[in-house]
Amino acid sequence: MVAQPSSQLTRKRITVRGVVQGVGFRPYAYNLAHSLHLSGYILNTSAGLLIEVEGADSAVEQFQDTLRRQPPSLSQIAEIAISEVVPRGDSAFTIQESIATNGEFAMVSSDVGTCADCWRDFSDPGNRRYGYAFTNCTNCGPRYSIVNDIPYDRRSTTMAAFQMCARCQEEYEDPADRRFHAQPNACPACGPRLALSKVGELTVRIKPPMAEVRKLLREGQILAVKGLGGFLLACDAENDAAVRRLRERKRRSEKPFALMARDVTAIKQFCRVSEADGVALTSSRRPIVVLPRNPGSNITWAVAPGNKTLGVMLPYTPLHYLLFSDSPDQPAEFTALVMTSGNLSEEPIVISNEEALHRLRDVADWFLTHNRDIYMRVDDSVIRTFACQERVLRRSRGYVPQAIDLGKPVRQVLACGAELKNTLCLTKDHYAILSQHIGDLENYETLMFFQETLGNLKKLFRVTPEAVAYDLHPRYMSSRIALELPIERKICVQHHHAHIASCMAENHLHEKVIGVAFDGTGYGSDGKIWGGEFLVADFAGFVRRAHLRYVPLPGGDAAVRQPWRMALSYLRDCFGPDPFPEALSFLHNIPDKQISVVDAMVMRGINSVQTSSCGRLFDAVASLTGIQRDVTFEGQAAIALEMAATEGIAEQYPFAINDGEPAQIDVRPMIRNIVEDLLPSRPVGEIAARFHNTIAQIILDVSSRIRKSDGLNRVCLSGGTFQNHYLLGRALDGLQENGFEVFIHAAVPPNDGGISLGQAVIANEVLQNGD
Ligand SMILES: [Zn+2]
Ligand SMILES: [Zn+2]
C-alpha cells in the first residue's frame, strides 16, 4: 500500500496558560499559522488558549518552537501542553468563538499603558484617531479595569455598550491589523467621548476642546479627571495656591501628592532620574516612581511637604497626554500636574460618574468625565528603584491581577490581609493572585471595596476558597471579615510571620530562614505589640529568637500620632524616674500638662501596652532630635529621619543584646548617647545617620548569633521599615559582606500590602500538613 498524502500531516493540540488573553495572542497565532501554511484554529477558553494546528511535520514543529521562543511581547506563558491528535483536513486556520468552562481560570491581563504605535496614531494629523483620548490596540489599553468575566471578550467588558463603526469592525476582524480582536477598540466615531461640566451646574459639554480644559488648569482650577482605574484630581503642580486648596479640600494631611509630567525630559527639570528609574517610568505598566527631588524647581513644596522625594508618573493613556498639550509637537503647558487619587482622605478611589459628582463635589471645581464605565477600581501603582531594580511599594494598576508564581502546587485559599494598606490574596494551581491596593480598612467605603474586589477576583479566577487566613490582631477589620465569611476553615497567622513568609514566597524559598521583620505595628503571640522581630521561620511556623526590648506605648494609637510620647517612653526606660537632662529641647513645644499626663502613663503603665516596634523607635528618635513632632500619617517620622540622615558617616551607637530566649535588644546605651550628642547640639543629620547605622549593626549582630546557633545563612528582610533605603542599603551591605545570602522584596510590597501573600502561603502549609 502506498501511504496517503494525508498520513504525512500532523495535527497537534496546544493548550497555553498564563497571561495569554488580551495581549494579541490570537492574531499572532493566526499570522504565524498562515506563514507556515498550517490549518486549524485558536480560541480563548476560561483556562487560557486552545490551539490546534495541522500541516507538514516540520511546519507544526516550527509553530510550536516559535510559540515558545517568541511569544507576543505582553504575554507571559506559564505552561504549554502539547498532544498529538488525529488530522481533520481543515482547509484554513481560523479564530473561533471563545468557550467558557467551569472551574478553570485564565490570567486576565493588567491594564497596559499606551504603546508606541498608538502614540503614533494619536499624534498623526492624518490618522483618524488623531488626538483621540481612547486610542488603544491589542498591545495596549484598558484590561483589568474593564473586564467583568472571562473569557476576555468585548461582551465581558464595559466596552460592550459601544457598537463598533464599520471601520473599527473591519480592523477588529482583519487578522493582519494591529487591532484584530482588540476588545476595547474604538475611534472618535464610535467610541467613548469626553464630557466637561462645572461643579454645581447642570450643563455638560460633550467633546470639550482640550485647550479649554488646560486653560482651567492654568487658572488654578482643580479638575476631577476620569482616568483608567478611577478618578484622579488634577491641578497645576507649580501653582502653590491651587495645590494648597486641593490639600485642604481633600483632607489629605501631609501625605505627598503624585505628579504627572508629559515626558522624562520634563521630569528631569525637578527630579533626578537614574537609568533604572527611566526604565520604570517608561515601562508599559507606567507606575508612579519615587524620585529624588531637585532643589530649586518651580514645583511647589506643598506637593510633598518636607519630602526630599517626589512620586512621578508619565501619561498612560492619550487622555492624560491631552492635559498637557494636543500633540507632541506643541509645547507642554505644564511642567507637571498633581495627579492624586480622586477620593476623600482614606476612602477608595471614585470610579463612576454619579459617585464622582456626589463625593468629589466639594473637592473639584470641574469634572472631566467620559462614558466608558470602569468596572474595577484600581489606583496607580507606586515603585521605587533600589540596587538598579524596581521595588513595588503599592501594587495596583499595571501589575494587578498578574499572578505570582509560587513554584509549587497550592490549594484554594483566601487571605484577608492586614488593616492598613490592605490587600487580599487568593491562591490556586501554582499561583497567588494578590489584589490591588485596597487601602486602610477604617471606613465603610473601603470595606465595600474589599468585598467588591474579593467578589471580582473569585469570579475572574474561578476560586472557591477552602480556607480563609487572617491576622492574629483581634480588632483588625480584615480579621472580622474573615471570621464572618461562610468558609469553615479559619487559619490565624501572626503578622511578622506573614511578612517573612511573603518575602520567602516571592523569592521561592521553602527552607527555614532568619527572618528580620521590622515595622510599625503587629499583634504578637504574647498579646503585646511587636515590630522589631528576629524570627527563625518557614511556612510551617516560626520561633521568635530576638526582639527590641519592650517599652510602654503610652496611649496606644495616640502614641502613633504623637511621636514625642515614644521619646518620653524611651527616656524613662533609659533614665528611670530621674529627671531628664534639662537641655532636651524637643519637649519645649508640648504643654507641660500633656507631658506630665503621658509621663504618668509611662511610669505607672496605665493605658500603655508594651511594644517592641521598630517603627516606634524611629518615632522616638525623630522626636528626640526635633526632626518630627506630630505626624499625620504612619511612617511620616521615620521618613523624616531617613531624609535627615547625612551620607558618608560610618559611626554608630552602642547597644546590648542579652542572652534570653528570645534575646532582648537593649537600645538604652544608644538613647543615652543620643541625648549626650544633643546637648552640645551635634548636627541632627549626623545623629540620624548614626542611628540608622546602629539599626543595621543590630541586624547584622543578631543574624550572626542565629547563624551560629542554628546554622542558617539565609536572611529575609521584610516589613514597612525596609522601605527606608538608607537602612536597607546598610543592612544589606553588612550582611552580604559577612557572607549572608539576603533576600528582599521586589514584586511584592515590603509593607503591610504584602501581608496577605504571606498569610496565604502559611495557610496552604497548614492545609497540606493537616491532611
Ligand atoms: Zn497600542
Ligand atoms: Zn470606530
**Over the stretch 369-386, which tens digit does the pLDDT of each residue have?**
999 999 999 999 999 999
Ligand nearest to C-alpha 73: 1
What is the reported pLDDT for 73?
85
Residue 3 pLDDT level (bands cut at 50, 70, 90):
very low
Which ligand is in closest contact with the Cα of 186?
2
pTM of the full structure: 0.91
Q: Is 357 exposed, middle or buried (0-12, 13-18, 19+ CB in 10 A)?
A: middle
Ion ligand 2, residue ranges at CB < 5 A: 165, 168, 187, 189-190
Residue count (the chain): 771
Lowest-pLDDT choice from 334-348, 478-492, 656-670, 719-733? 334-348
Residue 4 has pLDDT above 50, yes or no: no
Q: What is the band of 392 on the pLDDT scale with cuts at 50, 70, 90?
A: very high
245 closest CA partner among 159, 365, 156, 408: 365
Helix axes 25-35, 57-69, angle to 10 degrees: 150
Instruction: Lowest mean pLDDT of 403-407, 539-543, 648-652, name the range.
Output: 403-407
Gap between the Cα atoms of 338 and 259, Å rounded: 4
What does the pLDDT read at residue 168?
98
Cα of 319 to ligand 1 centre, how many Å? 14
- Find residue 14's DSSP bridge partners: 51, 82
Confidence of residue 5 (pLDDT cuts 50, 70, 90): very low
* pLDDT digits 0-9 by tens, 34-47: 999 999 999 888 78
Least confident of 100-114, 295-309, 591-605: 100-114
Calculate how far, in angstroms, residue 186's C-alpha sits from the geometric centre of ligand 2: 5
CA distances, 50 to each of 34, 151, 182, 651 (Å):
17, 12, 18, 62
Ligand nearest to the CA of 138: 1
Tell me, in angstroms, the distance from the centre of ligand 2 to residue 171's CA.
Answer: 9
C-alpha of residue 190 to centroid of ligand 2, in Å: 4
Question: Ligand nearest 141 Cα, by number?
Answer: 1
CA of 367 to the centre of ligand 2 (A): 25
- Residue 750 has a pLDDT of 98
What integer pLDDT is reported at residue 47 of this predicted model? Answer: 80
**Centroid of chain to Cα 721:** 16
Tell me the ligand closest to 140's alpha carbon: 1
- Which ligand has the minimum distance to the alpha carbon of residue 136? 1
- pLDDT for position 152: 83
Where does residue 454 fall: left (phi above 0), alpha (psi -120 to 50 degrees), or beta otherwise? alpha
Identify which ligand lies nearest to the alpha carbon of 163: 2
407 DSSP 8-state letter: S
How far away, in angstroms, is 107 Cα from ligand 1 center? Answer: 20
Average pLDDT, the chain: 93
Element (H, E) at 531: strand 529-538
Q: Of the bound ligands, which one is closest to the alpha carbon of residue 188?
A: 2
How does residue 583 score in pLDDT terms, banded at 50, 70 and 90?
low
The pLDDT score that the predictor gives to residue 6 is 46
Q: What is the mean pLDDT of residues 19-25?
A: 84
When pLDDT is cut at 50, 70 and 90, the band that residue 103 belongs to is low
Ligand 2 centroid distance, CA of 372 (Å): 14
Q: What does the pLDDT read at residue 1?
A: 40
Give the pairing of strands 382-386 and 288-292.
Answer: parallel
Q: Is the pLDDT of residue 718 over 90?
A: yes
User: Which segment of 466-470, 478-482, 617-621, 678-682 scores lowest on mean pLDDT?
Assistant: 678-682
Tell me the pLDDT tens digit for each residue of 284-333. 999 999 999 998 899 999 999 888 999 999 999 999 999 999 998 899 99
CA distance 237 to 260: 9
Ligand 2 centre distance from Cα of residue 252 (Å):
41
Lowest mean pLDDT among 24-28, 161-165, 509-513: 24-28
Higher confidence at residue 336 or residue 76?
336
Q: What is the pLDDT of residues 559-576, one digit of tens each?
A: 999 999 999 999 999 988
User: Side by side, which strands form the sheet with 231-236?
Assistant: 204-206, 194-198, 366-370, 223-226, 231-236, 337-341, 258-260, 309-313, 288-292, 382-386, 389-394
pLDDT of residue 395: 98
Between 584 and 433, residue with greater pLDDT: 433
Mean pLDDT of 344-351: 86
Starting from the CA of residue 169, give the closest ligand.
Answer: 2
What separation in Å is there between the alpha carbon of 140 and the centre of ligand 1? 4
